[in-house]
Amino acid sequence: MMPTTWSFLRSLSLQVVSREQESSTKAGFLIRSLWIPAYAGMTAKQTFIMQGSVATLQQVIVNIKLSDIINNTQFKMQDTKAKNWYNNLEADLNLVPYEILSTILKKSLSKGGDYADVFIENTSTTFIQIEDSKVEKVVSGIDSGIGIRVIFGGKSAYAYSNDFSENSLLELANTVSKAVKQEDNNTVIDFRKIKPAVDFNIKLRPEQVAVDKKILLIENANKAARGVSPKIKQVSIIYRDAVQNVCIATSDGVIAEDERIHTLGVIHVVAAEDDVLQTGYEPIGGFIGFELFEENPFDEIAANTAKKAVMMLSARKAPGGRMPVVISSQAGGTMIHEAIGHGLEADLAQQGLSVFSNKIGEPVASALITVIDDPTLPNKRGSFRFDDEAVPSQQTVLVEKGILKSYMYDRLTSMKDKTISTGNGRRESYKHRPIPRMTNTLIASGDSPPEDIIISVDKGFFVKKMGGGQVNTVTGEFVFEVSEGYMIEKGKTGEPVRGATLIGNGPEILKSIDMVGTDIGFSIGTCGKDMQGVPVSDAMPTVRIPDIVVGGDVQNRY
C-alpha cells in the first residue's frame, strides 16, 4: 500500500530535521539525495533537490510547493531555525525594503562611481529527463540571491550573496564600493517603480501542473519516437520549467520587477543502420506556461524528429562544391545567431572582436536584409518585460535594408559609446554581472513567396534544417552543419543528402543574399557567452544565397 502524498512528505520533512543529508529507504521509496543546505548551517538557499528512480517519483507528486510541504508538517512549528530560513526564502523579493535598497546603493557609490544597481532573484525550476526509456532525473530547485554592481570609469565591480540580512548586504555594498578609487560622493536616491512597455499572458503556470503529468508527457514522447522504427537506437527527452522573479533597483532611482516563466521540451534521437548514424534534435519552448504542449503536441514532434533521422540514414552523401543554396525559414537560428547576432553585441564590437566593429551607417548586408532584436514578442524564449538592468524591453533595429544602424547595448557599453542601453543587458542569474546579449533576433520577412525561391533555382541545395556551427566573429568566417538537406533540381526539392556543411564568410554571404521570403520561422536555444547561458530565440525567412561553398563528399563533386 502506497502512503499518501502528504504522509510521505511529512515523513520526508521530519527526516530532514534529523538527518540533513541522507539516503534512506522508506515505505518503498528510494530517496537518493535530499538536502537543505541552508538548514545545515550553510548560507546557500539552493534547497529542495530530490532524485529518485521512475518507480518512486512517478507515483508521488513531488513538485508541491515548498510552502505546502513546510506548512503541512511539524517541521515549521518545531524548528525556529528552519522556520526563519523558510520565511526568508519566501519573502526574498519583498525582504529588502526600499530604504535598505537605497542605503545599499548609496553605500556602493560611497567611494565614487557612475552608477550602481541591485539585482534580486528568486527562481524555482523543475527538470525531468528520460533516457533509455527510464526517467533518469526529477529535480526541483529554488535558488535566490542578490547581486550588487558598481560601474565606474568604463569598468564594473560585482558581488553577490544569498544571505539577505541587512548586515550582509551592507558588507556586500562595501565590497563593491572598495573597487572604486574616486573621491567620495553624495548620492541621493529616490525610487520610482516603473511599468513595463509590454505584458505577457501565461495560460497554465507550470507549477500548477503536477509532476506526474510532466513525466507522462515525456514518456509519451519517448514512446512516439521509439515507435517510429527499430532503427531509433537512442532517445533522450528533457522537460524543464522555470519561474524567475526578479527585482532590480538602480542608482537612477528606478525599481523594476519581472516574472519570467519558461517552459521547455527537448527531443534528441539517434538513428542507426549499419555504420551510418543520424541524429535528430528538436527543442520547443518559450516565455510560456504548460500550454506550450497543447499548442505543440510533443509526441507528434518526437515522432517527426525520429522519422527524419531514419529518413536521413538512407540519404546519399552530399556532393561538395559551389552552388546556389536556399535556406528554409525552418532551418533554425544558427546563421542569424552565429554569423550576424554575436558580432552586433556592443562589447564584442567595442573590443574590435567583431567584423561589424566601427561600421555604423555602412552597408553590411544586401538591401533586402533587415535585422531586428525584439524581446517584446509574446511567448518567445528571449522575451522579457525588463532586461536585467531595469531597462524596459524594446525592439531594436540592428540592420535596416542592409545598413548597420545599431549594436545591442547594455548600460556599461552604452556609457562607453555615449548612447543609451537598448535593453540587452542580461545575466544568467544573480551570480553573474549583466553583459550585452541577444533576445529574439530575426531577419525580417521580405517579399518573395518561399516556393518561388525554390522554383528560381535550376540546380542547387536546399537547407531544411541547420545543425550546429562555428564562427570566427573577428573575420566572419563560418562553417555550419546541415542536419537535413535536399538537392534542388529544376526548381524542385529532390532527394535528401546527408553530411553537408555550408562554408563562407558572414558579411560576404549577407551581401550576396538576393531573395528573401515572405515567411518567418522561429527556433530556440540557450546562448552561451562568458560562461553565462541565457534563453534566446532566432528567426529568419527563407533566403537564397546565389553562390556558396557546400562542403560534402569530395568524391562526388556536384
Q: How far is the CB of 337 from Zn ion (least distance, A)?
A: 6
Closer CB to Zn ion, residue 288 or residue 527?
A: 527
Report DSSP letters for 137-156, one per residue: EEEEEEEEEEEEEEEETTEE
In 3-state terms, what secondary structure has residue 62? Answer: coil
Q: How far is the CB of 282 from Zn ion (least distance, A)?
A: 19
Integer Cα distance of 118 and 59 in angstroms: 42
Q: How far is the CB of 148 from Zn ion (least distance, A)?
A: 27
Q: Which of residues 476-495 bind Zn ion (CB under 5 A)?
A: none
Q: How far is the CB of 441 from Zn ion (least distance, A)?
A: 10
Q: How far is the CB of 32 from Zn ion (least distance, A)?
A: 34
Q: How far is the CB of 42 from Zn ion (least distance, A)?
A: 34
Three-state SS string over 173-238 comes to HHHHHHCCCCCCCCCCCCCEECCCCCCCCCCCCHHHCCHHHHHHHHHHHHHHHHCCCCCEEEEEEE
Integer Cα distance of 531 and 552 in angstroms: 33
Q: How far is the CB of 527 from Zn ion (least distance, A)?
A: 3
Q: Which stretch binds Zn ion (CB under 5 A): 321-329, 464-472, 521-529, 542-550?
A: 521-529
Nearest alpha carbon to residue 261 among 290, 284, 238, 237: 290
Q: How far is the CB of 382 from Zn ion (least distance, A)?
A: 11
Q: Which CA distances in Å does 408 have to 370, 426, 441, 443, 444?
A: 15, 11, 11, 15, 17
C-alpha count within 13 angstroms, C-beta hemisphere, residue 230: 1
Q: Which stretch binds Zn ion (CB under 5 A): 77-85, 124-132, 512-520, 525-533?
A: 525-533
The answer to whether the beta carbons of residues 19 and 33 sit under 8 Å apart is no
Q: Which of residues 320-349 bind Zn ion (CB under 5 A)?
A: none
Q: Which stretch binds Zn ion (CB under 5 A): 109-117, 149-157, 290-298, 520-528?
A: 520-528
- Using only the alpha carbons of the chain, give its radius of gyration: 26
Q: How far is the CB of 35 from Zn ion (least distance, A)?
A: 34
Q: Which stretch binds Zn ion (CB under 5 A): 23-31, 248-256, 367-375, 527-535?
A: 527-535
Integer Cα distance of 392 and 461 in angstroms: 42
Closer CB to Zn ion, residue 59 or residue 357?
A: 357
Point out the residue whose Cβ comes nearest to Zn ion.
527
- 275: how many CB neighbours lie within 10 A of its CB? 5
527: contact with Zn ion by CB under 5 A: yes
Closer CB to Zn ion, residue 36 or residue 527?
A: 527
The answer to whether the beta carbons of residues 324 and 546 sit under 8 Å apart is yes
Closer CB to Zn ion, residue 209 or residue 527?
A: 527
Closer CB to Zn ion, residue 463 or residue 527?
A: 527
Closer CB to Zn ion, residue 189 or residue 527?
A: 527
Q: How far is the CB of 480 from Zn ion (least distance, A)?
A: 14
Integer Cα distance of 166 and 172 in angstroms: 10
DSSP 426: E
Q: Which of residues 23-52 bind Zn ion (CB under 5 A)?
A: none
Closer CB to Zn ion, residue 145 or residue 436?
A: 436
Q: How far is the CB of 536 from Zn ion (least distance, A)?
A: 7
Q: How far is the CB of 433 from Zn ion (least distance, A)?
A: 18
What is the phi/psi pair of residue 484, to 5°? Answer: -140, 115
What is the phi/psi pair of residue 476, to 5°? Answer: 85, 0
Q: How far is the CB of 528 from Zn ion (least distance, A)?
A: 6
Q: Which stretch binds Zn ion (CB under 5 A): 98-106, 180-188, 263-271, 524-532?
A: 524-532
Q: Which stretch binds Zn ion (CB under 5 A): 25-33, 388-396, 499-507, 523-531?
A: 523-531
Closer CB to Zn ion, residue 185 or residue 526?
A: 526
Q: How far is the CB of 347 from Zn ion (least distance, A)?
A: 13
Pairing of strands 316-317, 492-498: parallel
Closer CB to Zn ion, residue 130 or residue 438?
A: 438
Closer CB to Zn ion, residue 219 or residue 387?
A: 387
In 3-state terms, what secondary structure has residue 450? Answer: helix
Total chain residues near Zn ion (CB under 5 A): 1
Q: Which stretch binds Zn ion (CB under 5 A): 15-23, 85-93, 116-124, 519-527?
A: 519-527
**Angle (deg, nearest 10), helices 98-108 and 166-178:** 20
Site of grid cell 552597408: 363
According to DSSP, the residues that pair with 484 across neighbouring strands are: 465
The answer to whether the beta carbons of residues 21 and 38 sit under 8 Å apart is no
Integer Cα distance of 82 and 145 in angstroms: 18
Closer CB to Zn ion, residue 323 or residue 527?
A: 527
What's the residue count for the chain?
558
Closer CB to Zn ion, residue 105 or residue 340?
A: 340
Task: Map residues 368-387 to x or -, x wherever contact with Zn ion holds by CB under 5 A.
Answer: --------------------
Closer CB to Zn ion, residue 87 or residue 470?
A: 470
What is the phi/psi pair of residue 78, to 5°? Answer: -85, -30
Closer CB to Zn ion, residue 92 or residue 428?
A: 428
Helix (H) or strand (E) segment spanning residue 511: helix 506-512
C-alpha cell at 119: 539585482
Q: Which stretch binds Zn ion (CB under 5 A): 125-133, 288-296, 526-534, 541-549?
A: 526-534
Binding site residues, Zn ion, CB under 5 A: 527
